Amino acid sequence: MRSFFIAALAAAAFVATPLAPHVQVGYCTSLQNAEAAKAAGFDYVELSATEVAGLSDAEFAAAATRLKQAGIATPAANLFVPQTIKVVGPDIDLARQAEHVKKVMSRLSALGVHVLVFGSGGARRVPDGYSREEAWKQLVDFSRRAADEARPYGITITIEPLRRQETNIVNTAAEGLDLVNAVNHPNFQLMIDFYHLASEHEDPAIVLKARDHLRHLHVANPQGRVFPQKWEEYDYAPFFANLKAIGYDKRISMEGSTTDLAAQGPITVALLRRAFE
């Protein structure tokens, strides 16, 4: 009888102990690298929406077939809007914006994409001398219209704060959160790229403030924007500690360069998985 109660208590303790969230690790890359990404151990690939939208119908059908044969998931995409389609400034074309957004949503949905990263620094760069207030209004308007288009497809658009070298509006996660609140749409949320956060010297504590709106992550070693290989190579700890504190359980995509995907990819995947344990 004693052994029975001991076993029962042990089982109860096991059930009561929360498991670490399973965070999928992906790789931001082009269509042609899907097979290599899978071989390197990534859970998924994060595609370029601009690349996908630029394919002919025949090319898109072939790409979809290739991805299916590769057997790797494509739940995320980035590069939402090309530099040639402005979303702020005096030269915006609402009809052209709408056409691009509609095509992107239709095609990404067919590939199983659920999260679309809105970085697109060139598209959202505010022209010199242009009203910042007006640019903000335009950015909010575009984001809300895009979210409306994304909603029926079950796609969530996530604003990506970018370092100042890449754009001049929404450079920090705090500013990204301001945009999310201004747009006020369930299909428009926040993502954080650790490389940009570190480049802007933003306090990783922003993760705690953004917990209710954080839907996606990017990562790279800020020293060279390369694949992370060792925990001690950079101060990653505060960022991941905050992610663990909020119970983040979605996806994190490697976005950076590598000299050897086959060799460095598995190390990065293992490192990121351990970071959430």
Residue 194 is part of a domain; what is its CATH number? 3.20.20.150
> Tokens for 11?
């089982």
Residue 249 lies in a domain: yes
At 167 the pLDDT is 98
Residue 123 lies in a domain: yes
Residue 5 lies in a domain: no
Dist. CA 180–CA 147, nearest whole Å: 11
Residues of the chain scoring pLDDT < 50: 1-20
Number of domains in the chain: 1
End-to-end CA distance of the chain: 36
- Positive or negative, the CA dihedral 192, 195, 201, 203 is positive
Residue 155 lies in a domain: yes
Residue 6 lies in a domain: no
* pTM over cut 0.95: no
Residue 16 lies in a domain: no
Per-residue burial over 84-118, b if 16 or more Cβ lie within 10 Å, else e, is: ebbbbbeebeeeebeebbeebbebbeebebbbbbb
Please give the residue range of the domain that contains residue 63: 21-275
Residue 7 lies in a domain: no
Residue 2 lies in a domain: no
| DSSP notation for 128-180 | TTS-HHHHHHHHHHHHHHHHHHHGGGT-EEEE----TTT-SS--SHHHHHHHH
At 144 the pLDDT is 98
Question: How many CB atoms sit inside 10 A of residue 4's CB?
Answer: 8
At 22 the pLDDT is 86
